[in-house]
Structure 1
Amino acid sequence: MKPPVPPPLSLTRLRDLTPARVGLGRSGASLPTEALLGFTLDHARARDAVHAAFDLEALLAGLSDLGLQPIQVSSQARDRRDYLRRPDLGRMLDPESRRALESHGSVSSQLAVVIGDGLSPTAVNVHAVELVRHLLPQLAAGRIEIGATVIASGARVALGDEIGALLDARMVLVLIGERPGLSAPDSLGAYLTFAPRVGRTDAERNCISNIHRAGLTYAEAAYRIAWLVREGLSREVTGVALKDESGGIPPQLGAPLGS
C-alpha cells in the first residue's frame, strides 16, 4: 500500500517560511491596499537606509569600549550624492586619509579591520560593534590579533584593499552596509581579502552576507569569519580558492540577534 501523499503547502504556510512577497492576492487588476502599503513602507525604509547618517561617534565609543582605537578615514566621494553616482570614488582614499595611514606606520599585522558605511549606514550603525564584540574572542582563540581598526566614510568594499596595503596587513576584513532590500534594509556584509592591494577583484574575496535580525546571528557570523580568517592566513588565499567549510555551527550560536 502506497503511503499517503502529503497535501501541498498552502500559501499561508509558504509566507511563514520566507519574507518574500508571495500570494499577495489582488484587488481588480491591482494589489490589495494592505499589500501596496506594505510595499511602499518597505521601499521607504530601504531608501532611508541608503541616505541615513553614519553614526561615527557611536562607532568610536563602541569600539573604544572593546579596547580598539580606530583610525578615521574617508574616500574621495565628497558627499552621498558623489558616493551614489561615482562608485569609483568610494574605492579610493582621499589624499588626507592616505597621508594619515602612511604616517601611522606600516607595522606588519595579521589582520586589519575596516568598518565602512557602504550602501546602508543603518546596518553598520546597528550591527557593526556587536559583531566585532562577538568576533574578538573567536580571533583570540585562534591567536589572531587585529593590527589596526579603521572607520571609513563613503566606503565601497574595495577601499579596504588600499587601506590594508598601506597598513601592511596580511588580510583585511571589511564590515560594510549592504545594498538595502525590501525585506532587509539593515543587512551587514563581511568581506575578507588576503594580501590586500589596489586592483584586487571580487573573485579574490570571501563574503559573508545577510547579518541582520532575520538573517545570520552575530555569533554565527563571527564563527564563520574567524574560520575564514584562520584558513585564509594558513593557506595564504581568499576568494574562489577558499570555500567556507566551517561545518555545522554549534547550536548555541544559532540564537537570534539580541537574545
Structure 2
Amino acid sequence: MNTPAPPSRPLEALRELTPARVGLGRSGPGMPTEALLAFTLDHARARDAVHAAFDAKHLVDGLAGLGFEVSAVSSQARDRRDYLRRPDLGRMLDSDSRRALETRGGGASEIVIVIGDGLSPAAVNVHALELVRHLAPRLAEAGIQPRHVVVASGARVALGDEIGAVLGARMVVMLIGERPGLSAPDSLGAYLTFAPRIGLTDEKRNCVSNVHGAGLSYDDAAFKIAWLVREGVVRAVTGVALKDESGTALIAAKPSD
C-alpha cells in the first residue's frame, strides 16, 4: 500500500481547514504585523458585538409577520453596564414584564420560544428571525405549533426558565447571542429546557450552538432543535438525560448524491 506523501507546507494546509490562528510566524520576539492587525480587528469586532444595540422592534415586527403572538419583556438589568456586571439581574424578569406575562398565562402553547440579546445582540439581530423562519415548519412536521414568542432584552439563558414557568410552557427554547469569539462575533445559540422553572441549572438544558455564516446553517440548526424539542417532549426530559442523536437523523434526511 502506498502511503501518501505529507504536504510540503503542512501549516498552510492546516490553515485551510480552520479559522483558528495556526502557524502565524513571528517577527523578532512578536507576531508579524499582518497577524497582529488581524487579531486586533477581530478583538474589536467581538467587543462591538457585546455592546451592539438590540433591535427588539425589528424582531417583534418580523415575528408578528410570521404569524406569532409576540411579547416584549426586559430583565432586571437596567442597562448594558448592569447586564455585564450583574449576571444575576439578567436571569430575572422586571416586575412590569412579569405582570404582563402573567396576564397571558394559560394561553401558552406546548413550547414557548424566547429570543434574548445575550452577550452578542449583533448575532440575534442578524440570525434570530431567519432561524425561527426555518424552525417553524420543522416543528410543524413534528406536530408542534408554537404560537407565542417572547423577545427579551438584557437576557441571560436562565431568564427563559422564569418566562416559561410564568406562561405554563412544557418547554422553552431560548435563542440567544453567544459570547463572541475572535473568529465568530455573531454566533447564535439555542438552549432547550423541559419543565422550565426558576433555579434550574445548565445540566437540565440541551444546547445547539455556533449558528452563524461560517458555522451551523439555519436549516441544520432548525433540524437539530426540532429533533430535540420533539424528543424532549416525548421523553419529558432535556439536558444530560437527553442525548443529542439528531446527527444520525440529519444524515438520513439528506438526499444522497
Q: TM-score range by the shorter chain?
A: over 0.9
Does residue 105 of structure 2 align to residue 97 of structure 1?
Answer: no
Q: How many residues in Structure 1 have an aligned counterpart in Structure 2? A: 253
Map of 1:257 onto structure 2: none
**Paired residues of 1:108 and 1:170 also in contact (CA < 8 A):** no
- Which amino acid counterpart does residue 249 of structure 1 have in structure 2? L
Q: Is 1:3 the equivalent of 2:2?
A: yes
Aligned 8 A contact 2:60 2:72 in 1: no
Q: Where does residue 120 of structure 1 map in the other structure?
A: 120
Q: TM-score, normalised by structure 2?
A: 0.95
Change (3 A) 1:87 1:81: same
Matches within 5 A, 1:63-212: 63-212=63-212
> Per-residue CA shift, 1:13-65, capped at 9, x if unaligned?
10010000010010000110000000000000000000000011211121112
Partner of 2:250: 249
TM-score by length of 1: 0.94
Distance of 1:171 and 1:60 partners within structure 2? 21
Give a deviation string over 1:154-204, Cα, whole Å, max 9, x none. 000000000000000000000000000000000000000000000111000
SS in 2 for 1:210: strand
Q: Offset of 1:211 from its aligned partner?
A: 0.3
2: CA distance between counterparts of 1:76 and 1:142? 35
Cα distance, 1:253–1:130 mapped onto 2, change above 3 Å: farther
Q: Which amino acid aligns with 1:41?
A: L
Q: Which amino acid aligns with 2:250?
A: I
Structure 1 residue runs of 4+, over 3 Å off?
A: 250-254
- Once the two structures are TM-superposed, the CA of residue 253 in structure 1 deviates from its matched residue by 6.8
The question of whether the paired residues in 2 share the 8 Å contact of 1:113 and 1:175 is answered with: yes
Q: What SS does structure 1 have at the residue aligned with 2:164?
A: helix
RMSD of aligned alpha carbons: 1.6
| More divergent stretch after superposition (245-254 vs 208-217) | 245-254
* Post-superposition CA distance 1:48-93 (Å, at most 9, x none): 0000000112111211121113100000000000000000000000
For the 8 Å contact 1:220–1:253, the answer to whether it is kept is no
Partner amino acid, structure 1, of 2:212:
H
The aligned residue for residue 15 of structure 1 is: 15
Deviations 1:209-233 (A, max 9, x none): 0000111000000000000000000
Aligned to 2:29: 29
Percent identity for Structure 1 against Structure 2 = 70
- Three-state SS of the structure 1 residue aligned to 2:27 is coil
* Structure 2 residue aligned with 1:217: 217
Question: Does the 8 A contact of 1:211 with 1:221 survive in 2?
Answer: yes
Aligned 8 A contact 1:187 1:212 in 2? yes
Q: Aligned letter for 1:72?
A: A
For the residue of structure 1 that corresponds to 2:88, the secondary structure is helix
CA distance in 2 between counterparts of 1:11 and 1:19 reads 13
More divergent stretch after superposition (230-239 vs 98-107): 98-107
Partner residue, 1:61: 61
